[in-house]
Amino acid sequence: MTFYCPSRRHALVLLAGALPLLAMAQGASYPNKPIRVVVPFGAGSSPDVIMRLMSEPMSKALGQPIVVENRAGASTIIGAQSVASAPGDGYALLYTVNNTTSINPYVYKTLPYKPEDFVPVVRVLSVPYVLVTSPQSPYKTLAQLMAAARAKPDTLTYASYGIGQGTHVAMARMLNMAGATMVHVPYKDTALTDLMAARVVTAFDPSTTTIPYIKAGKLHALAVSGPKRIEALPDVPTVGETFPGFVGDSWHGLLAPKGTPPDVVNKVNAVAQTIIASAGFQARLKDLGLVPAGGTPADFRQFLKDDAQGWAKVVRDNHIRAE
């Protein structure tokens, strides 16, 4: 009696041929249990609000509960690590911002994850920062503020959410372009109270948090960080109108652990794209001063590469380091 025993090489060829079929089968059956989405910020934060806004339509489209888990702290590192170490099966996703992949790898000497530990799923939106001052501030325009900063180097103060945070690095980029220097005052949380009281001169802060204060007259807006003015603040110029070429937005996006099957990534992307394109979602974003994005996983991958290169240069040029 003769038994057929394939060679190791032949077996590997058969296995390689079967892998796409296995991935397709997994994608077709996905999801068959709840999906955990980690938000590396606290409840009520901008990423938390937007992810919860997306969770209900995502759940309906995918037929499974979307469980939003807040794991705040350490410049998104705690939440990012928890997803980076999760199985690549589509049941753990990360809803995060630019710090995770575009800034942290260059600010921190060591990290418990690498950008390569994630698969891009979709960029959901851009987050313009608004450069704000107290209404009592003598600086009513960006040009006036930067002229004063150049005239009095390292005297005027600016706040941020901490060393290496997006608001810090965006300000460093703008000061470089303006040829000015200011004193950085890092906060563990928001500096809006001190800004309103003029205890600190200025800061970049996300549009989601500043717009209500600006409309109430409690803060004065000098400029927005994006390439275009935002609909919620149509009279506020962009930084680029004073310093051409400047862009300092952050972003929100969904990432999956490395190894997540392409069919699963594409399925989540398709659902997210539908939500992002919906009139209700876009209207809500515009109210918050946010800019809808969207695109394919490949689009997001290229965006992340370009974004990281730009912020890495700012970090290096300004010797920004955090422990």
Q: Is residue 5 part of a domain?
A: no
Same domain, 234 and 266: no
pTM of the predicted structure, to 2 decimals: 0.87
Given 193, 225, 241, the domain boundary residue is: 241
Report the number of distinct structural domains present in the chain.
2
Strands (E), the chain: 35-39, 66-70, 92-96, 118-127, 129-133, 157-160, 183-186, 202-206, 220-224, 250-257, 291-292
Q: Is residue 6 part of a domain?
A: no
Same domain, 150 and 236: yes
Reported as a single tens digit per residue, the pLDDT across 4-14 is 344 444 444 44
Residue 188 pLDDT class (50, 70, 90 cuts)? confident
Prior bond to 40 cis, omega within 30?
Answer: no
Query: What is the reported pLDDT for 1?
Result: 39
| CATH label of the domain that carries residue 154 | 3.40.190.10
Given 194, 225, 241, the domain boundary residue is: 241
Residue ranges making up the domain that contains 117: 33-127+249-317
Mean pLDDT of 260-288: 96
Q: Which residue, chain included where needed, has tokens 């809006």?
A: 192
Residues above pLDDT 70, as percent of the chain: 91
> Would you say 79 and 48 are in contact if contact means Cβ atoms under 8 Å apart?
no
Handedness of CA 37, 43, 47, 50 (dihedral sign): positive
Same domain, 46 and 96: yes
User: Could you tell me the two tokens for 166?
Assistant: 């997006």
Q: Is residue 111 part of a domain?
A: yes
Q: Which of 1-5, 143-147, 245-249, 305-309 has the lowest average pLDDT?
A: 1-5
User: Could you tell me the two tokens for 115?
Assistant: 């950008």
Same domain, 59 and 119: yes
Given 213, 241, 269, the domain boundary residue is: 241
Q: Which residue, chain included where needed, has tokens 């939500």?
A: 275
Same domain, 255 and 175: no
Query: What is the reported pLDDT for 296?
Result: 98
Reported as a single tens digit per residue, the pLDDT across 58-114 is 999 999 999 999 999 889 999 999 999 999 999 999 999 999 999 999 999 999 999
